[in-house]
Chains A and B, each alone.
Chain A
Amino acid sequence: MTALLTVILSFIGALVCGLMPSSTHRRIRWVALAVAAAGLVVSMVCCVNYPGGDFADLVAADWIPSLGIGFATGYDGISLPLLLVTGLVAVCGVLFSWTLETRANQFYAFYFALIGGVYGVFLSLDLFLLFVFYEIAVVPKYFLIAIWGGARRHFAAMKLVLYSFGGSALVLLGMLAVFFLAHDASGEALKTFNLLELQQGQVPAAAQQWIFPLIFVGFAIMAGMWPFHTWAPTGHVAAPTAASMLLAGVVMKLGAYGCLRVAVGLLPEGALAWAPWVAVVAIINIVYGALVALKQDDFKYVIGYSSVSHMGFVLLGIATLNLTGMTGAVLQMFSHGVIGALLFALVGTVIYTRTKTRMLDELHRLIDRMPGIAWVFVVAGLASMGLPGFSGFISELYVLIGAWGELSGWIVSGAGAGILLTFGYTLVKIHEAFFRERTHSPDSQSETPYPPMTLPEKTGVAILLGASLLIGLCPWLLTHKISASLELLVNRLPN
């Protein structure tokens, strides 16, 4: 029941914030911070209490018994890092929206509805319930972007929603197929949505061949899989900072989590057949995302495409279908959640509120004018590159080790090229943003320093960067738990 508190608290938080008058935005932000922090604390308690291996903290209640639908929740080592990252990003999202005034009550109502949905997906042990939470998370995204977003917000919000629903439709089809086709060892139809029971049973191998792509692609759209990734950059860019932190940090992980838990977890034969294709697409994600990031002039688009590139490593890790690679995939979800959120916070709030522009060719020698912020961004950029010592390195290392065992050398070389490109575009963009002098523009001579970071900003940066560094240096804090649970999943794969 402990874990379920995250969902309950978030929805209560949404309600409370929504009911407060908007003029009290100073009080609302403290309430929001308290709610987000409570969610984080609960996730941490879960993490500490988790015994390891199979699902823990099970809650089961009947819901629609005639259709085999129940209210079943619980968590294991795969969902734990994602609960943690959701908690971390939720807290920091509030910190980086500290100065928000316009309709703060509604903002946080949508914010926590989204977070509640996300927690719900990570905790669901019933496919139907998971789907419900997955849909709950879509609606607040639309409003967060359409109301508080930047330029082209209506277009971006609509695009995001259409992609989400498109993916959901595919997932729904696949889920129904699983529901009707799954049978237990004796061949008797299961007719259930319960994940645990479905894991015990099986879907006929021939059917898995076509159900797997449905469910996998459906979820992977949210994970930013090429060629369905285009919602991600436009959505990330148009969204207000807290929302783009959630989108990059958590929502993309919803998709990847679905791919791992549902598609691979329930359809092992299908996964085995399709894994090489997933790997190819993952490499395209990594390389293509990096190349496009290199060409962007808008700082937020750079981060948006870098998210697409980094999610490629998650997909690649899943495609390995072995313990090491998939551990890497889950760790990369955590790692990119933290770092991606940090980068969006820095670009969207910390830098933008000071410079009033995100266009790289309008920024002028920020390293001298905002040295503290510039150095924080440089460190965050290094973390994003996957420099040893940060979580990104460990997760990519796991993925590469896993991939090398399972997939062809070409795939690994492609990933290697992707890493190099990541180094390249990160450095180039850091140079353009912080070191370059703007020669022909009205204020090219301007040397005015910008104000330093505020306390909420500093706290947020410290939390996210600290988390990445902690896992980078002590990865076993998470990998033990992830691997123990993944082992159960890997054991179900046929070979």
Chain B
Amino acid sequence: MITALTLTPMAAAVLILALPERRARAVALAGALVSLALVLWMLVQFDINADGLQFSERAEWIPALDIDYFVGLDGANALVLLLSALLAPLAVLASWQHTDRPRTYFVLLSLLFTGLFGTFTALNFFHWFLYWELALVPPFFLIKLFGKGEERHSAALNFFLFTVLGSVAMLLGFLFLYRQTGTFDFIELAEKGVNVSPLIFCAVLAGLWVKVPLAPLHIWQAPAYAAAPTPVAMLLTGVMSKMGVYGFLRLIVPIFPEQLKQHAGTLLAFALITILWGAFLALRQTDLKRLLAFSSLNHVAYCVLGVGAIGMVVSGDIGLKNPHGLALQGIILQMFAHGLAAAGLFYLVGLLEERTGLRGRNDFGGLSAVTPRFAAVFFILTFCSLGLPFMAGFAAEFLIFSGTFAVAPGVTVAATLGLLATAVFLLTMLQRVFTGPVNEQYKSMPDLTRNEILILTPIMILVFWAGIYPTIWLEFSQKLTQMIP
């Protein structure tokens, strides 16, 4: 089942190459929809009371090195898989009008989907790494070939080199683990327990650090998000940043519990720095795409804050039964919530740019009068990002903060400064773009079309659903929380 899911977009890519160019987008959409259907079917069948992995598949791959093909689904990857399967067809729909070399474009997009699905389901480092790298190559070319402006070349190169630097460090780290334990299997590694030097821990961490990203390895992020074509930026912020966070949950928490405990303070500190620095950069930024990139930097760092909290040792009675579990569920929900909201916001800014050719925060004004539907959706997603109650972002950040507060109150208080700053820059953005006197130039800007509303509807529904009634989403990770001490 999972193998079929991973291979569907790849098959679509092959089909696109074989069919005439004008069919490319339809095939890509079909592939993405089939994947979505498979994921939904699996989640419906998902047994929330079962321990361990479900839908797992295992086959020998390289017996000499004791490497198996091993995939499975559990609470840690269920939601993030749904997120990527959901954003996949939306990204294809968002590129529906794409006319520049469509065959190349949709092949790359489909390959990216395979990389994403594979990364989120693989449980053996060997092919996990294969997918991890596969998810890296298509965005590089998508940015380089289809991006905007001359900076796209350097943005793509920086994105690639930073990520590869992290990947190679991680590869070396896992080779060391392999030498020690003789296995690449994530589950087996977690059971055996590893005893490694801080250097190796850092090497594995580096790969995730770049991908999330955390300061100071975030500098590739804003240029890449700004230069990428809108649908790719949606995936970059919506899903690819989650690869890093997912890596923390899949690799760091189960395999390196001791090291995580030792270095939890450092991790919390860096998460805090990233939260504050991201917010600070967003405050100063007037380019809307870069502003959203920094906002994304800030929001994803909350997840890492939660990871740091999981590593903190609880001392004495703190009145909370399982703060680590709370933080964990918060991280998983935050990945989902931020993925939806950020992808939606990038899409909206992309639309704005498409219509006006501009994306400066101060270039517009009074748009809520001109395009009321556009403004409404933009407001809602921004409020979700802000963490307004009844929206997904609130539920997620609330869980993370309550988990973190129980174990590291000082850091949590400092991190709320980040929340405040977020409110300032997001509200300033809304005010400058949508309120005030109408800019004469854009008086005739068209409102959302039916196609665009179709893309935004599922995002809106889920944003509210996960905010008002998060229980059903949290159930997936319920069992997982019991694994953590």
Interface residues of A in 371-421 (CB under 8 A from B): 371, 375, 378, 382, 387-389, 393-394, 397-398, 400-401, 404-405, 412-413, 416, 419-420
The contact string, 1 if C-beta is below 8 Å from chain B, for chain A 419-456, is 11001100110010001000000000000000000000
Chain A binding surface SS class: helix
B130 and A389: CB pair below 8 A? yes
Known contacts A382-B137, A420-B164; is-contact A475 B172 (Cβ 8 Å) = no
Distance from A445 Cβ to chain B, minimum over Cβ atoms (Å): 18
Q: Which of A394, A423, A475, A483 contacts B164 (CB under 8 A)? A: A423
Alpha-carbon distance A454/B63, docked complex (angstroms): 40
With contacts A324-B65, A388-B127 known, what are 15 further pairs, Cβ within 8 A?
A: A378-B141, A389-B134, A401-B178, A404-B175, A404-B176, A423-B164, A423-B168, A424-B161, A427-B157, A427-B161, A431-B157, A435-B144, A476-B61, A476-B62, A476-B63
Distance from A329 Cβ to chain B, minimum over Cβ atoms (Å): 15
Known contacts A427-B160, A435-B153; is-contact A419 B168 (Cβ 8 Å) = yes
Alpha-carbon distance A206/B91, docked complex (angstroms): 69
Known contacts A424-B161, A431-B157; is-contact A400 B172 (Cβ 8 Å) = yes
A388 and B175: CB pair below 8 A? no
Distance from A375 Cβ to chain B, minimum over Cβ atoms (Å): 7
B168 and A416: CB pair below 8 A? yes
A400 and B137: CB pair below 8 A? no
**A388 CB contacts on chain B under 8 angstroms:** 126-127, 129-130, 133-134
Distance from B399 Cβ to chain A, minimum over Cβ atoms (Å): 35
B134 and A475: CB pair below 8 A? no
B160 and A401: CB pair below 8 A? no
Interface check B145, CB cutoff 8 A: yes
Q: Which of B126, B133, B144, B172 contacts A412 (CB under 8 A)? A: B172
Closest to A418 in B: B168
Alpha-carbon distance A251/B145, docked complex (angstroms): 38
**B169 CB contacts on chain A under 8 angstroms:** 416
B179 and A405: CB pair below 8 A? yes
Alpha-carbon distance A431/B145, docked complex (angstroms): 11
**B127 CB contacts on chain A under 8 angstroms:** 388
Q: Which of B137, B144, B165 contacts A420 (CB under 8 A)? A: B165
Q: Which of A378, A412, A427 gathers the greatest number of chain B CB atoms within 10 Å?
A: A427
Interface check A467, CB cutoff 8 A: no
Q: Which of B61, B62, B126, B141 gathers the greatest number of chain A CB atoms within 10 Å?
A: B62
5 interchain pairs (CB within 8 A)?
Answer: A324-B65, A367-B145, A387-B137, A388-B133, A412-B172
Interface check A208, CB cutoff 8 A: no
Interface check B64, CB cutoff 8 A: yes
Interface check B259, CB cutoff 8 A: no
Interface residues of B in 151-165 (CB under 8 A from A): 153, 157, 160-161, 164-165
The 5 closest A-B pairs by CB, nearest first: A388-B130, A423-B164, A388-B133, A404-B179, A416-B172
Known contacts A367-B145, A388-B130, A416-B172; is-contact A480 B64 (Cβ 8 Å) = yes
Closest to B163 in A: A423
Interface check B101, CB cutoff 8 A: yes
**B137 CB contacts on chain A under 8 angstroms:** 382, 387
Interface residues of B in 170-197 (CB under 8 A from A): 171-172, 175-176, 178-179
Interface residues of B in 319-373 (CB under 8 A from A): none
The contact string, 1 if C-beta is below 8 Å from chain B, for chain A 352-383, is 00000000000000010001000100100010
**B157 CB contacts on chain A under 8 angstroms:** 427-428, 431
Closest to A479 in B: B64
Interface residues of B, Cβ cutoff 8 Å to A: 61-65, 101, 104, 126-127, 129-130, 133-134, 137, 141, 144-145, 153, 157, 160-161, 164-165, 168-169, 171-172, 175-176, 178-179
Alpha-carbon distance A413/B101, docked complex (angstroms): 41
Distance from A173 Cβ to chain B, minimum over Cβ atoms (Å): 38
**A476 CB contacts on chain B under 8 angstroms:** 61-64
**A394 CB contacts on chain B under 8 angstroms:** 62
Distance from A427 Cβ to chain B, minimum over Cβ atoms (Å): 6
B175 and A400: CB pair below 8 A? yes
**B165 CB contacts on chain A under 8 angstroms:** 420
Alpha-carbon distance A424/B165, docked complex (angstroms): 10
Closest to B129 in A: A388
Q: Which of A387, A397, A427 contacts B133 (CB under 8 A)? A: A387
B172 and A401: CB pair below 8 A? no
**A424 CB contacts on chain B under 8 angstroms:** 161
Alpha-carbon distance A423/B129, docked complex (angstroms): 16
Known contacts A388-B129, A412-B172; is-contact A423 B62 (Cβ 8 Å) = no
**B171 CB contacts on chain A under 8 angstroms:** 400, 416
Q: Which of B127, B144, B168, B179 gathers the greatest number of chain A CB atoms within 10 Å?
A: B168
Q: Which of B63, B104, B172 contacts A371 (CB under 8 A)? A: B104
Distance from B36 Cβ to chain A, minimum over Cβ atoms (Å): 25
**A483 CB contacts on chain B under 8 angstroms:** 64
**A327 CB contacts on chain B under 8 angstroms:** 64
Interface residues of A in 229-279 (CB under 8 A from B): none
Closest to B176 in A: A404
**A423 CB contacts on chain B under 8 angstroms:** 160-161, 164, 168
Alpha-carbon distance A401/B183, docked complex (angstroms): 12
**A387 CB contacts on chain B under 8 angstroms:** 133-134, 137
Q: Which of B160, B172, B178 gathers the greatest number of chain A CB atoms within 10 Å?
A: B172
Alpha-carbon distance A112/B134, docked complex (angstroms): 39
Closest to B157 in A: A427
Alpha-carbon distance A397/B178, docked complex (angstroms): 11
Alpha-carbon distance A378/B104, docked complex (angstroms): 13
Distance from B66 Cβ to chain A, minimum over Cβ atoms (Å): 11
Distance from A322 Cβ to chain B, minimum over Cβ atoms (Å): 11
Closest to A390 in B: B130
Q: Which of A324, A371, A397 contacts B101 (CB under 8 A)? A: A371
**B104 CB contacts on chain A under 8 angstroms:** 371, 375
Alpha-carbon distance A245/B307, docked complex (angstroms): 51
Alpha-carbon distance A153/B130, docked complex (angstroms): 42
A475 and B62: CB pair below 8 A? yes
Q: Which of A367, A404, A420, A479 contacts B62 (CB under 8 A)? A: A479
Alpha-carbon distance A479/B66, docked complex (angstroms): 13
Distance from B154 Cβ to chain A, minimum over Cβ atoms (Å): 10
The contact string, 1 if C-beta is below 8 Å from chain B, for chain A 294-324, is 0000000000000000000000000000001
B175 and A401: CB pair below 8 A? yes
**B101 CB contacts on chain A under 8 angstroms:** 371
Distance from B445 Cβ to chain A, minimum over Cβ atoms (Å): 32
**A371 CB contacts on chain B under 8 angstroms:** 101, 104
**B141 CB contacts on chain A under 8 angstroms:** 378
**A401 CB contacts on chain B under 8 angstroms:** 65, 175, 178-179
**B63 CB contacts on chain A under 8 angstroms:** 476
**B65 CB contacts on chain A under 8 angstroms:** 324, 398, 401
Closest to B64 in A: A479
Alpha-carbon distance A179/B31, docked complex (angstroms): 66
Distance from B254 Cβ to chain A, minimum over Cβ atoms (Å): 23
